[in-house]
């Protein structure tokens, strides 16, 4: 893992979509034994957007994708590849990416899903940038999309307070003269901790049965506090070393896009890295944890605020089921 060489890959356009339905901490405190104060203080979340019944991951992905294509001035026929990072695919197969490719009429493009926990979005960006760097792809649509709400146990206060639905997308292409470019990436996994965030039911290990339903195996399960401690321990030194391996001091990163899992995790990591709070993008208050979509949504909103300047460095980082983690640096 390391520094990109070959054709520089640039972000040409971005898009996002979140469902209209909003559910507040107050709403959740009527469903499980929790409170607005607890959720706010422990996570930073105030509300999250949830899909309507029948609104699928491919639907939210398509909406974000259409906006990204328009923003980039790229037509679906121009695309060489569609990559969707998701942990809540409509079905285990086909993947979401082929469905979206079909919905868009991206007739020349291949399509595949990346399923790597909440880190999937960062993995997908790295795949897309690598494909462009190598010259095999010219234009790639990368989407992070989740409809996790049907996979969440709304009687489990450990998980139901956290997650939200939504999608973010970006179109990547070969950088034009003076355009931005991806600089470097580092993708990691600690599979010995594969039991920390799971969705166990309905596949090879636990084929669907009356028993799997009764045991609640068709829901997201998370050892929240263990994940919290793992991330606090691993992520700050990983990011420091990643920056140094990229030839960049952490202080020289202008904007930090952490996976929006928990505001306390983000603030602690930033503090340990000596990052000024104003350089850290936070929107977990509005969307909760949208898993593989979170860094895309954060970037979309940030770009619309017109704060980014030519040459600014943006670092995207995420962690999640696997346990996977990783980072990618972009120079605007
Ligand atoms: O996106 C993938 C990666 N995921 C993450 O990064 C999530 C990481 N983990 C977290 O964000 C946090 O661990 C949680 C927000 C899930 C939980 O926060 P915590 O500070 O780790 O709480 P805890 O599990 O240590 O629980 C502390 C107390 C316990 O009560 P006692 O034993 O001290 O009496 C829990 O039973 O808080 C209680 N508790 C709650 N109380 C009200 C746990 N969940 C809730 C709740 N409302 N929703």
Are the beta carbons of 79 and 139 closer than 8 angstroms?
yes
Backbone angles phi, psi at 54, to 5 degrees: 90, -10
The two structure tokens encoding residue 105? 């009429």
Report how far ligand 1's centroid is from the alpha carbon of 187 (Å).
27
- Residue to mutate, 23, 225, 318, ligand 1, most ligand atoms under 8 Å from C-beta: 225
What CATH number is given to the structural domain containing 114?
A: 3.40.47.10
Nearest CA to ligand 1 atom 44: 158
pTM of the model: 0.97
Are the beta carbons of 217 and 224 closer than 8 angstroms?
no
Counting the structural domains of the chain, the total is 1
Catalytic residue (one of 25, 118, 160, 243): 118
Identify any residues that bridge with 143 across adjacent strands, giving them in sequence order: 84, 169
Report how far ligand 1's centroid is from the alpha carbon of 221 (Å).
13
Write out 65-105 in H/E/C secondary structure: HHHHHHHHCCCHHHCCEEEEECCCCCCCCCCHHHHHHHHHC
Are the beta carbons of 263 and 41 closer than 8 angstroms?
no
User: Mean pLDDT for each 10-residue chunk of the chain (332 residues)?
Assistant: 93 98 98 98 98 97 98 98 98 98 98 98 98 97 98 97 98 91 98 98 98 98 96 97 97 98 96 96 98 98 96 98 98 98
Report how far ligand 1's centroid is from the alpha carbon of 151 (Å).
19
Please state whether beta strands 255-258 and 313-320 pair in parallel, antiparallel, or not at all (unpaired): parallel
The verdict on whether 243 is a catalytic residue reads no
As a whole number of angstroms, the distance between CA 323 and CA 242 comes to 18
Nearest atom in ligand 1 to the alpha carbon of residue 159 is 16
Q: Which domain holds residue 260?
A: 1-332
Vertex 256 angle, CA 186 and 80, to 5°:
55
């Amino acid at each position: 893992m390391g520094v990109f060489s070959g054709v520089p890959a640039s972000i040409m356009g971005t898009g996002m979509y979140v469902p209209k339905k909003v559910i507040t901490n107050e709403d959740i405190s009527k469903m499980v034994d929790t409170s607005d104060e607890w959720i706010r203080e422990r996570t930073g979340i105030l509300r999250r957007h949830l899909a309507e019944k029948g609104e699928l991951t491919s639907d939210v992905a398509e909406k974000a994708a259409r906006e990204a294509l328009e923003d980039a001035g790229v037509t679906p026929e121009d695309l060489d590849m569609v990559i969707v990072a998701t942990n809540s695919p409509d079905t285990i197969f086909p993947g979401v990416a082929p469905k979206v490719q079909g919905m868009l009429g991206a007739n020349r493009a291949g399509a595949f899903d990346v399923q790597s926990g909440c880190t999937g979005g960062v993995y997908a960006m790295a795949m897309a940038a690598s494909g462009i760097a190598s010259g095999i792809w010219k234009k790639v649509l990368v989407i992070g999309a989740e409809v996790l709400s049907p996979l969440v146990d709304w009687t489990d206060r450990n998980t139901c307070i956290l997650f939200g639905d939504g999608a973010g997308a970006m179109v990547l292409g070969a950088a034009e003269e003076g355009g931005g470019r991806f600089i470097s990436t580092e993708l990691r996994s600690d599979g010995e901790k594969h039991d920390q965030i799971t969705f166990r039911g309905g596949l090879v290990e636990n084929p669907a049965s009356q028993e799997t339903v009764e045991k609640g195996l068709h829901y997201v399960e998370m050892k929240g506090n263990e994940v919290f401690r793992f991330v606090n321990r691993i992520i700050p030194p990983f990011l420091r070393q990643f920056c140094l391996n990229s030839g960049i001091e952490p202080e020289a990163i202008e904007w930090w896009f952490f996976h929006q899992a928990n505001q306390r995790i983000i603030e602690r990591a930033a503090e340990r890295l000596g990052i000024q709070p104003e350089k850290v993008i936070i929107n977990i208050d509005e969307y909760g944890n949208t898993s593989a979509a979170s860094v895309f949504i954060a970037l979309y909103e940030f770009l619309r605020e017109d704060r980014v300047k030519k040459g600014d460095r943006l670092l995207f980082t995420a962690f999640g089921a696997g346990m996977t983690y990783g980072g990618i640096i972009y120079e605007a």
